[in-house]
Amino acid sequence: MSTCRFAENGFYISPQQTVSPCCSIWSDDNWTSPFESVDQFFTNPKILDIRKASIENRILDHPACIICKTKENQQSRSMRTRGDRLISSSSSNHIKRLDISFGNTCNLDCVMCRPDFSSKWNKVVETMPDDIKRGTGKKLVKNTTMTYAQIDTILDKVGKKLESIVIKGGEPLYDKKAQYFLNKLSDINPNVELSITSNCTIINQEFLSKFKRLYITASVDGIFEIYEYIRGTNFSTITSNLQKLSQMDNVNVQIAFTASVFNFLILPQSINYWKNIGIENFQVDYAREKYLSPFLLGKKNYIKIAQSNPYTEGWKFKKPLKEHYELHENYKQFWNKHRGMDWDNIDVSKY
């Protein structure tokens, strides 16, 4: 049987302001549509076609769902399988879970990101050599943002009925539109299960305390200068902020670690670091860009880490091509200059 609760009761608004049932479909132009209103849950032909496939028990055969099918074939967790835990099973034709980004407004330019998810990344692309832009596919994009009127309409139509909300970015705790949404939401549905994916460089404990069930997924991809190279901001600030969040009674903190050639070797040490300050929940994924992949570390190094960690033990090694190593080297040299740091002088082994 092949069904999906996201297909039947989810609604996703991407940073590019397109809609689909879930975030796994965001980059497929064939199965996304420009955001107009939450009424598209009931009227959009693409969303309805995907929902029909789920109702007919054939969701993994739908062309929009190739990412989930691929992950499940590799015995990895997919958005579809997560839906069984995240969305209630009662049959009803309404939005139960809203996954929303208010645009690409962000205060960081992380090495594995792109302008679609970070407004600051447009400035990176402006200074990037043409050969690296061609190799990585990085290009300038129009910065996007939802209107206040659209936010009001979403809350008026579905705000009180939602079981859960996921807010992503951009950076939600930096984006004024996200703050506007959260202020209004705290008045009409403070008991909603609220999840925020954030870089946690900016937090407001008084503001966040308004929600009864708050889950913060902190995007943190390393420790000390490795983190600072990847994210371009001060690591001590992140440590302080996560300590404060982990001590709040209404907040559950999870670390989201994007594994890459820059940080995979210190994944165990990173997990231990956060466990020592009281954070026990972790989510580990790997960079899909071949020039950033942890496979670039070589099979022996990769397998040593992957097989010793419960979050990665099912990962399979894929041998990179020569051009992936070459592009990575050029990309690294660019970021050395951009960050004012020299990656090759960072001693990963000391951790």
Per-residue pLDDT tens over the stretch 134-159: 999 999 999 999 999 999 999 999 99
**Average pLDDT of the segment spanning 74-98:** 88
CB burial string 26-62: b at 16+ within 10 A, e below: bebeebbeebeebebbeebebbeebbebbeeeebbeb
Q: Calculate what percentage of the chain has a pLDDT beyond 70.
A: 100
Measured over the CA atoms of residue 257, residue 261, residue 262 and residue 264, the dihedral's sign is positive
Q: What is the pLDDT of residue 27?
A: 77
Does residue 1 carry a pLDDT above 80? no
Between 91 and 285, name the one with better pLDDT.
285
CB 270 within 8 A of CB 257: yes
Please tell me the pTM assigned to this model: 0.92
Q: What is the pLDDT of residue 259?
A: 97
Label residue 313 by pLDDT band (50, 70, 90).
confident
CB 334: neighbour CB atoms within 10 A? 17
Q: What is the pLDDT of residue 90?
A: 73
Residues across the chain: 351
CB 180 within 8 A of CB 147: no
The rounded mean pLDDT for the chain is 94
C-alpha 168: how far from chain center: 7
Label residue 76 by pLDDT band (50, 70, 90).
confident
**Average pLDDT of the segment spanning 242-266:** 96
Paired strand residues for 318: none
Q: How far is CA 171 from CA 113, 144, 190, 196, 231, in A?
A: 12, 13, 21, 9, 13
**Average pLDDT of the segment spanning 283-298:** 95
The amino acid at 187 = D
Angle at CA of residue 21, ends 19 and 26, nearest 5°: 55
Per-residue pLDDT tens over the stretch 189-232: 999 999 999 999 999 998 899 999 999 999 999 999 999 999 99
Does residue 251 carry a pLDDT above 90? yes
**Average pLDDT of the segment spanning 154-180:** 95
SS3 169: coil
Q: What is the pLDDT of residue 201?
A: 97
Out of 12-16, 73-77, 119-123, which region has the weakest mean confidence (pLDDT)?
A: 73-77
Question: Which residue pairs from 29-34 have beta carbons closer than 8 angstroms and sit at least 24 positions apart in sequence?
Answer: 30/63, 30/64, 31/63, 31/64
Does residue 93 carry a pLDDT above 90? no
Does residue 291 carry a pLDDT above 80? yes
Q: What is the pLDDT of residue 350?
A: 81
